[in-house]
Structures are given as structure tokens and as C-alpha cells.
Amino acid sequence: MAKKNSTSADLDALLRDPADPDEAAALVTALIDEIRKHDVAYHQKDAPSIADADYDKLKRRLQTLERDYPETLREDSPSLAVGAAPAQGFRKVRHARPMLSLNNAFSDEDVADFAQSVRSFLKEFKDDPERKLDFIAEAKIDGLSCSLTYENGELVLAATRGDGLEGEDVTANARHVADIPQKLKGKGWPAKLEVRGEVYMEHAAFFALNERRAEAGLPLFVNPRNTAAGSLRQLDPNETKNRPVRFFGYALGETSEPIADTQHGIREKLHKWGLELNEPSKVTSDLGELLEFYREIGERRASLPYDIDGVVYKVDRLDLQRRLGDVQRAPRWAVAHKFPAERATTVLEKIDIQVGRTGALTPVAHLTPVNVGGVMVARATLHNADEIERKDIREGDTVIVQRAGDVIPQVVEVVLEKRPKGSKPYAFPTICPCKLKAPTHREEGEAVTRCTGELACPFQQVERLRHFASRDALDIEGLGDTTVRQFFEEGFLKLPADIFRLKHKRDAIIALHGWKDVSVDKLLAAIEARRGAPLDRFLTALGIRYVGETNARKLALHYGDYPTWRQAMADALADDSEARKELEGVFVADSKTAKGVVAKELIAFFEEPHNVQALDDVANEVKPSPVERPATDSPVAGKTVVFTGTLEKMTRPEAKARAEQLGAKVAGSVSKKTDYVVAGAEAGSKLKAATELGVAVLSEDEWLTLIGDG
């Protein structure tokens, strides 16, 4: 890199020694931003904006800070992948079918529950406990998922998973991965074949790469997984050559014609066509054998040439996989049985209290940073007051922490022999740490302690705003935790609707530390772009208890658009109203939450005038858009169906899932708005109600014929 235009004063500021961990964290962020800026200039615009030596200084500085303050190490840090592509370096590709993730099982019981839930979804297996249902077990390699599309046997596209719906086009890099055939071997492949699999790096390659980097004075990579990810997302495909990543196939995406009837059949075909598989695998209907496979591979884990983090069990028959479908971004037909959590010992320096958006006080342990299975851990959740008391966790204790998969690190136990003299049991605060100093309150029989400040508690206000803008909710790019807090403290934000009025504060924001007109305009544009956000996201963003992604989606699909939902909620306030029954019906087949709980929370929300005011205010700004219903061309799209009585061919959950897949609403009670009542054997009051209201009644077979499954 040549030329420079960042002044040495800027550089000095970035290279200064931080006074405390907070400043270190701020510096790391500033350094990352600066390095990214120069990376873009160099890689994408071919216009270097800094002298090579200065660029190296920035990088080295970032690396030392990350070493001295390990809690500042971010997964997206440029020191983990030198020259890593800024996201905009790759073309985005929309996946033909979403790339899902997997639900986790942590114990034998969890696996048994999974197998049982599959059986109870499928009528013929539920009714006949002796009927054999094959599963296939495969190792779960810890890498990153990738999709390969072949047209007439030629590789035409390689894409990362991204957010599951949209990934990045990394074809140029995939052409340098030896395990990825450019052309399929043999014959008989379908005209279009999408193979899904995992990109990973073997230990030997990882160590060799780090050795070369150490010699060259370059920052070292943290673990093989991050390295594989960084390597695939290299902007310079030639660099990928120096980073030997591998690939195995584990599933199919969109394919022009079926290639097999079973998962093991898919494996055989993929192997024949030249793709690597994750060996070994086992097909069996015996749960004991699945668990034995898990234990055997667990014992060999340390001697394998790559990292595995568990075993995946999948229903082997593909027709059953299709019937089982997905819930919430994970298939019903598979589960990941994770290996036991990695553990480490460290000192618990301090217990801090965090106040969530519902006012729940969560104790958080601040730890002397420690490496747990390749990840630096500086904080762990302590859950609640009971948990601290049960484990008698005290400040200053030496503790064992564990991290299981994507789960937040936990404190497992205290090493009592190392307890400092004179330590005292932890006293859970009776006063909220917020400015209001409101008393805390714990409801009889509940584990959670809450701040009684309710809507006036500043912590809760900030948390609600953060939640509103967050990725799973309204997803406003650039309005992250720090910014929300900063704007809140400045008095720019109090309620969600204020976000959409920030444009009137443009000058005041520019005057704040850390903001420039370009960054403010970018943020304001991102906010504007979220007007008209889909109804389900909007409902999630409200942060009503129990109304997370799943239930928000149920509401959105059921009521269709915002005004209908808003009116229905107002009507549902009356105790015996139709609207109340309808609302309760939306959550009928929800097995996890007690009956009526979600509806009760929604009603409680609408009974509080402050909530209603804040809601109307923000809805007026956002104007949520109706949700897209799946499969609108089906004959039952948009229709409301009630299932009643005993069905012969499907279980109730399967019937409901299938109807919803076809865009129908499934309600729990019959009303004038019901289009069809599907009556099985021994249908009772609902069938009667249907006849009285003149609603069409179908037998199970008539329903199946109507939807084309007959």
C-alpha cells in the first residue's frame, strides 16, 4: 500500500494506551473501523489510503489490545482473517430454499424426546409404537455451511449460508478447494443439483498456516473454524489457495429431480459423483444404537484430524422429512446431539446486575478472561437469586465455567478450597440499580426478581428500545446497543416512535462525539428503510412477554394486517367476546406454553394505557406491512380451518403444520369467519357449531383431496 491520507494525529489517537477496559473496547472498535476503511480502499477501490507501515501499526495495535483485553476480541475482527472481505465485497445470493440450522440435544433424554416428538407427529408411527422408524447418525463437523450448485454437472455457484435466506457468492474461492469438484464424476446427476455441506479446516493445516504466519510476523488465527470461514470469504481467491480448506456434503438443496428416497441414499449418490462425506455414519431404528454411535465417536474425538462438536441424527426417509417440515428455522426431522460442554477454571471478580426489558434483574458474573474451548469468556450468566444461593456463588470465588455450543457461558460450581478468607454470601439487591432506585420485587413462586419501576425505569426503557431495533425485531442497521444507549442518555430517544423522529435531531447528533454527517445520514436512511417493516417483525419488536418470533408470526399470519390485529386486540379486552376466543385459538396447539398464557399477556399489554399510546404512536410511524403468506396459489390459501375429532391419517400437529404450509389459518374454535371444519371421528361441539353457523364441513378425505394430498 502506498499513499497516506489519514493524519498522524489520527493515528496517534488510535495507537494510544487505553486507561481502562472500557476505553480498550472503544479503541478496538475504532481500530476495526479504521482498518476496514483502508481494506475497502485497497481491495475494492484499488486506491490505498494509508502507508503500508502505518497500516501494519494499526493491525499490530489491534492484535496487542485483543491479547491484553481478551474480552474485546470480536468474531469479525480483521485480525482473525487478514484482508478478510468486507461484506460488500461479495455478491449476495438468495437461497432457493432457506438454509436452516439445527436444534440441539444435550442429553440422552433430549434425544429420546426428539425421537418421540417425531413419532408423535406422524400418525402411523404414533399409533403403532412397534413400527420401525430409521434414523441416520452422522458426525457434526464444526465448520460453516456452504451450498454448491451444479448445472449439468458443472459447478456454477458456491454460496455461504449468510442469514439462512441470503448468503454470499464465494464461487471464485470455492474453485480453489480441492474437495469441491468443479465437475461431477460419473453420470446420472440431475440437470440441477444443489449440494449442501460444511467447509472446515483440519488441525494440521491450521497449525501449519499459523506457523507460516508467525514467521511472517502476522497475527495468528484463533481456531480452525474461524480460519475456514475467513478463508472462504477471502477477496483474493489466490490467497484461498494457501489456506487448505475442506468440504463434505450432508444434504440436498433445490434439485431438478429426486435422486434418492433416503438420506443414506443421498450420501451414496454424492459419493459416486465425487463429493466427500463425513464418515462414519449409521442407519438404525434403535435409539440405543444411535447413542452408542455418539459415545464411540465421542471417544475418538480427540484423535480425529478435525473438530467435531456432536452427532446429527436425521430421519432417514425423505418423504417423512418432507412431512415433518420445519419449525422456526430448524427441521423437525433432525437434531444435533452436542458433546459435553468445554470447561475452565477462573476467578469471579464481581457480580453485576443487568435489568432486562421486562424489568427482570439478571445477575452476571464478571470473570478473569479465560479460554474455554477456543473462545475467550469474560462474562457468564448467573440466572437468578436462587441459582446464586443454591451454588453459594460469591465475589472473589474461583469458579468452573462451561460453554455448550451457542449457549451463554455458565458458572457450574465454586472451587470451595480456593475461597478467600472472610468472603460473604452474595446479597441480591433489594433496590434496582437504575436511577429511580425503585424497590425490587419477587412474585411468590417465581424465580425472577423485577424492578417495580415499570415503564419509568430507565434500564427497561433502554432495553425496550434496543430490543425494538435489534436484528430479530425491526432490524434497524446501525442502531445497535451503544448507539441506543448514547441517544437515550442524550434524551433523543425515549419511546420506539422517537426512533423515527431522529431525523429532526440530525444536527444535534452530528455534534455528538463519534458522529459525522455521513454516518448520521447512513443511520437515518437505515431507519427510513424500515418503515413498512413486516407485521410479524413489528409485533416481535413490541417485546410483549411470550410474543417472540414464533408467536408474533402466528399472530401476523392469523390477522393478516396491522389494522385488523389492532382492532381484534381492542375487541378481545371484553371477557366473553368472540375476539377473545379467536385470540386464544391462535395459540391452540402450542405445547410449550400453558394454555391461554400468551393471550393473557397480550390482553394485559392492552389494558395498560401507556402501552396502547406508545403502540399507536409507533405504528403510525412504521405502518407495518401485511405478512407474506406461503404458497398463495394453494386452494386453501387465506382460508380459516378448524380441525376437530380424531383424524385417521394425520396427527393434529401434522394437519395444522400442513394447512399452514399451504397458507391456511388454523383456528381453535368455530366462528362465522371459519371457512372449513374438518371433522374426524367423534367430533362434538365444534361440528355442532359449524352446522348451526352454516360453515362447510369436510371429512378428512375430502380435505386431503381439496389440498391435493388425497
Q: How far is the CB of 184 from ligand IVH (least distance, A)?
A: 20
Q: How far is the CB of 340 from ligand IVH (least distance, A)?
A: 16
Catalytic annotation present for 140: yes
Closer of 29 and 101 to ligand IVH (Cβ): 101
Pick out residues in 142-171 that bind ligand IVH (CB under 6 A).
145
Residues near ligand IVH (CB under 6 A), total: 15
Closer of 194 and 582 to ligand IVH (Cβ): 194
DSSP bridge partners of 342 = 403
Interface pick for ligand IVH out of 331, 363, 453, 680 (rule CB under 6 A): 331
Pick out residues in 627-686 that bind ligand IVH (CB under 6 A).
none
Closer of 145 and 470 to ligand IVH (Cβ): 145
Closer of 134 and 395 to ligand IVH (Cβ): 134
- Please state, in angstroms and rounded to a whole number, the distance separating the CA atoms of residues 574 and 617: 23
Q: How far is the CB of 180 from ligand IVH (least distance, A)?
A: 16
- Please state, in angstroms and rounded to a whole number, the distance separating the CA atoms of residues 56 and 52: 6
First to last CA, the chain: 67
- Contact between 397 and ligand IVH by CB under 6 A: the answer reads no
Closer of 267 and 464 to ligand IVH (Cβ): 267
**Residue 299 CA neighbour count, 13 Å, CB half:** 5
Q: How far is the CB of 144 from ligand IVH (least distance, A)?
A: 7
Closer of 171 and 278 to ligand IVH (Cβ): 278
Closer of 93 and 378 to ligand IVH (Cβ): 93
Of the candidate spans 95-103, 120-128, 378-386, 507-515, the one that interacts with ligand IVH by CB under 6 A turns out to be 95-103
Distance of CA 563 to the CA centre of its chain: 29
Are the C-beta atoms of residues 403 and 342 closer than 8 Å to each other? yes
Q: How far is the CB of 331 from ligand IVH (least distance, A)?
A: 5
* Closest residue by beta carbon to ligand IVH: 145
Catalytic residue among 59, 140, 282, 665: 140
CA torsion 511→513→514→519, rounded to 10°?
Answer: -20
Closer of 336 and 361 to ligand IVH (Cβ): 336
- Please state, in angstroms and rounded to a whole number, the distance separating the CA atoms of residues 10 and 81: 24
Sign of the Cα torsion 498, 499, 503, 509 reads: positive
- Please state, in angstroms and rounded to a whole number, the distance separating the CA atoms of residues 700 and 645: 10
- Contact between 103 and ligand IVH by CB under 6 A: the answer reads no
Q: How far is the CB of 624 from ligand IVH (least distance, A)?
A: 29
SS3 state of residue 431 = strand
- Please state, in angstroms and rounded to a whole number, the distance separating the CA atoms of residues 159 and 148: 7
- Contact between 602 and ligand IVH by CB under 6 A: the answer reads no
- Please state, in angstroms and rounded to a whole number, the distance separating the CA atoms of residues 367 and 398: 9
Interface pick for ligand IVH out of 160, 278, 384, 470 (rule CB under 6 A): 278
Q: How far is the CB of 196 from ligand IVH (least distance, A)?
A: 7
Of the candidate spans 4-12, 330-338, 535-543, 673-681, the one that interacts with ligand IVH by CB under 6 A turns out to be 330-338
- Please state, in angstroms and rounded to a whole number, the distance separating the CA atoms of residues 114 and 320: 15
Beta strands in 176-266 (DSSP E): 192-200, 246-255
- Please state, in angstroms and rounded to a whole number, the distance separating the CA atoms of residues 33 and 160: 24
Interface pick for ligand IVH out of 11, 73, 118, 141 (rule CB under 6 A): 141
- Contact between 125 and ligand IVH by CB under 6 A: the answer reads no
Q: How far is the CB of 260 from ligand IVH (least distance, A)?
A: 15
- Contact between 336 and ligand IVH by CB under 6 A: the answer reads yes
Closer of 201 and 334 to ligand IVH (Cβ): 334
Spatial CA neighbour of 318 closest among 334, 335, 302, 338: 334
Residue found by looking up cell 434414523 in the block = 135
- Please state, in angstroms and rounded to a whole number, the distance separating the CA atoms of residues 576 and 586: 16
Are the C-beta atoms of residues 630 and 663 closer than 8 Å to each other? yes
- Please state, in angstroms and rounded to a whole number, the distance separating the CA atoms of residues 439 and 427: 14
- Please state, in angstroms and rounded to a whole number, the distance separating the CA atoms of residues 213 and 219: 7
- Contact between 102 and ligand IVH by CB under 6 A: the answer reads yes
C-alpha cell at 368: 478473569
Of the candidate spans 49-57, 133-141, 467-475, 514-522, the one that interacts with ligand IVH by CB under 6 A turns out to be 133-141
C-alpha to C-alpha distances, 251 to 167, 312, 332, 571, 613, nearest whole angstrom: 17, 12, 15, 47, 49
- Contact between 100 and ligand IVH by CB under 6 A: the answer reads yes
Binding site for ligand IVH (CB under 6 A): 100-102, 138, 140-141, 145, 198, 250-251, 278, 312, 331, 334, 336
Which residues carry out catalysis?
Answer: 140
